Structure 1
Amino acid sequence: FEDREIGDFSDKELSRIRNEAVGFVFQNFSLIETLTVEENIELPLLYSGLTPKEAKDRVHEVLTKVGLPDKGKKHPKQLSGGQQQRVAIARAIVNRPSFIIADEPTGALDSKTSEEILTLFQQLNNEGVTIILVTHDEETIEYCNRLIKVRDGKILEEVLT
């Protein structure tokens, strides 16, 4: 990573990479229920050194990007599953990462919401963000431009789609 072996990074450097260069999106959203949407998204920014105004602006920017500009004061339980996943994506992109690792990001969503989420990932990819998407869903693969099939930790096949 960044022309260095991962094993050569210190714990502090690895923490910085995880916070700044990588965005994580989980199937179960992993939102903190006691925090508002804005507070959930702001969490990765706490370590970035941004001023409170810069952080607030960045949170509003990503909420708008994921189509939820008016949901910042709500709590996760007040949102639909698709909205919660959009908040999780907003949290993943708030630090403007180089890549996103998304583990079954549509697994708990209906087909319409899944399509919206996958379209959002395509938009992010078109903006230069690499998306590493783990899925078992054949329909999700249609949104990808590269497929790597893995079984038992071994690459079985790699295909440009």
Structure 2
Amino acid sequence: LKVIDEEGRELPPGSKGEMVGRSPTMMSGYKNQPDKTRDMEWRDADGNLWFKMGDIGIVDEDGFVQIVGRAKDMIISGGFNIYPKDLEEILMQQPGVADAAVVGMPSERWGETPVGFVVAAPDHALELDQLLATVNAELGKTQRLSALHPIDELPRSHIGKILKTDLRAMLAETAG
């Protein structure tokens, strides 16, 4: 496993970026989809073929891996990369928050802006304006949430993964 930046340059150990891997047991591409296969290919300085995994992660000097998110979920706001997991962890630390997710919403000014969805814990009423102010006070200037939306339950796949595409669709409906 290695980590690369947005321009496809290999990053040193401990850096956060898109993960690429190679192994005799990895898939060799998408069946009957050569364009999609080419999009996931990456070659190192020696010309060896690696495959982009779609994960954002860190590989340390000892080879240990920490996955911090999905490349498709990364929010680019004002030229800065924002990792939703970082914001979700802060939301989940707040009293009365049972579940949370962050997605990018189109922004004319910034390209994208982070928007949060929160599920209140049983018998808790969330004061969204106060929660937003509290969370944003803990975040860096470029990471701040532009809005918080209450939701009864986050949409999940059959294996429990949050369906961020559904959350983006909900935002698009309310914006349109």
TM-score range, shorter chain: under 0.3
User: Normalising by the residue count of structure 2, what TM-score does the alignment of the two structures yield?
Assistant: 0.25
Instruction: Report the structure number with the largest CA radius of gyration.
Output: 2
- Choose between structure 1 and 2 for higher RCO, CA contacts under 8 A separated by at least 6 residues: 1
**Would you tell me which structure has more strand in proportion to its own residues?**
2
User: Normalising by the residue count of structure 1, what TM-score does the alignment of the two structures yield?
Assistant: 0.27
